[in-house]
Structure 1
Amino acid sequence: MNVETVRLMMNMFDRDNDGTISFNEFIGLWNYIEKWKACFQTYDLDGSGTIDTMELQKALRGFGYNLSEQIVSLIVTKYDVCGRGDISFDNFVQSCVTVQTLTDAFRRIDVAGTGVVTMTYEQVRCKLRLKNDV
């Protein structure tokens, strides 16, 4: 896995925030990775070992995220390190967790549940800073 995905998962499972993963935290992380692996294999429809834009869109819809084809293409472009139009397992996990994190942050701001928020420039900068710390 790439360094960013490992950092992301370490932050998620370091429950006591001591900068390390205890044995029990590791077990939780291992189970989490195994679930993602099964999910990845479910949506890797052509068995290529990578997820393309169409497969990612199906996966995200399966998770309840109805994103446009244009947004999904942008996600693939961001996480496609080889420039082939698809993403590897670790980048799939990282992209899905990022979508979840951003959606959760959006929902906290969208208190009316309308799907539309108005933010100041400073709020956007703060949210981006927090996202980069996740």
Structure 2
Amino acid sequence: MATPMPSEADLYKIFSAADRDKSGHISADELQKALSNGTWEPFNLRLVKMMIGMFDRDGNQTIDYNEFKQLWKFVNDWLNCFRQYDADRSGSIGKHELNHALNSFGYRLSDATYNLFMKKFGTPDGQSIIFDNFLLLCISLQGATASFAAFDVERKGEIKISYEQFLNSVVPLIA
């Protein structure tokens, strides 16, 4: 079942509550406190900063209300996607569910890669991934895919690059 978008008035109330200093802009810290990952823990700060970078149109490292509306829709759309692949409705996705999700996105990856994803983005026991870390994984994977595609000019799924090209490609994704 899809989560509906709140009304414009309700969304503005959410924005205003998150804007604790009443500046008309939400910082990464304020946004982190405003979002929920379903575990009563704050959203992953790295993800919050990535999303601000994605939606901050004026480059001030905060988001205004219009940017917040776009970010909220983005998060809501991904939450609905996450719920679609959380087959057992546990509030997290296991390796099999992650495999199903990424396969449907067009990724054909080895079991070893899924194990790596579970270790890197999963809960401490490596058995499941909660929503915000699923979103962080998907955004990171999209960025890595775009970086790879820039070098895969023949679209063979293989590239040959120098070490510096590699670093210039991945450092922005991990910083």
After alignment, is 124-133 or 90-99 more displaced?
124-133
RMSD of Structure 2 on Structure 1 (CA): 1.2
Task: Tell me, yes or no, if structure 1 residue 9 matches structure 2 residue 68.
Answer: no
**Any residues of structure 2 matched to 1:1-134 within 5 Å, and which?**
1-133=43-175
Question: SS where residue 91 of structure 1 aligns?
Answer: helix
Higher Rg: 2
Contact conserved, 2:121 with 2:129, CA < 8 A, in 1? Answer: yes
- Could you report, residue by residue, the CA deviation over 1:84-123 in whole angstroms, capped at 9, with x for unpaired residues? 4111100000001111110011111111111110111111
Q: Which amino acid aligns with 2:165?
A: Q
- Could you report, residue by residue, the CA deviation over 1:60-104 in whole angstroms, capped at 9, with x for unpaired residues? 111121222221121111012422411110000000111111001
Gaps of 5+ in 1: none
Percent sequence identity is 38
2: CA distance, partners of 1:55 / 1:35: 18
The alignment's TM-score, normalised by the length of structure 1, stands at: 0.93
- Could you report, residue by residue, the CA deviation over 1:7-28 in whole angstroms, capped at 9, with x for unpaired residues? 1111111122221111111000
2:21 equivalent in structure 1: none
2:24 equivalent in structure 1: none
Higher relative CO (Cα under 8 Å, sequence separation at least 6) belongs to 1
Contact conserved, 2:123 with 2:129, CA < 8 A, in 1? Answer: yes
The alignment's TM-score, normalised by the length of structure 2, stands at: 0.72
1: CA distance, partners of 2:57 / 2:119: 32
1: CA distance, partners of 2:126 / 2:137: 16
Higher share in helix: 1
